[in-house]
Amino acid sequence: MPSSADPIDPLHRALLARIESCYRQAESHFDRTFPRPAVSLRMRGQSAGAAHLQDNRLRFNPVLLAENPDAFLTEVVPHEVAHLLVWHCHGRVAPHGAQWQSMMRDVFGLVPRTRHQFDVASVAPKTYAYRCQCQEHQLTVRRHNKVSRGQARYLCRGCGAALKPV
Strands ordered across the beta sheet of 38-40: 38-40, 57-60, 49-52
How many structural domains compose the chain? 2
Q: What are the helix and strand counts (H, E) for the chain?
A: 6, 6
Q: Is 80 a catalytic residue?
A: yes
pTM of the model: 0.78
Which listed residue (20, 75, 80, 136) is catalytic?
Answer: 80
Give the pLDDT mean for 24-29.
98
Whichever domain contains 97, its CATH number is 3.30.2010.10
Confidence band for 3, pLDDT divided at 50, 70 and 90:
very low
Range of the domain at 144: 127-165
Pairing of strands 38-40, 127-131: unpaired
| 83, part of any domain | yes
Give the pLDDT mean for 113-132.
90
Do residues 15 and 77 touch, judged by C-beta distance below 8 A?
Answer: yes
Structure confidence at residue 24 (pLDDT)? 98
Q: Cβ-count burial of 56 within 10 angstroms (0-12 exposed, 13-18 middle, 19+ buried)?
A: middle
Structure confidence at residue 2 (pLDDT)? 47
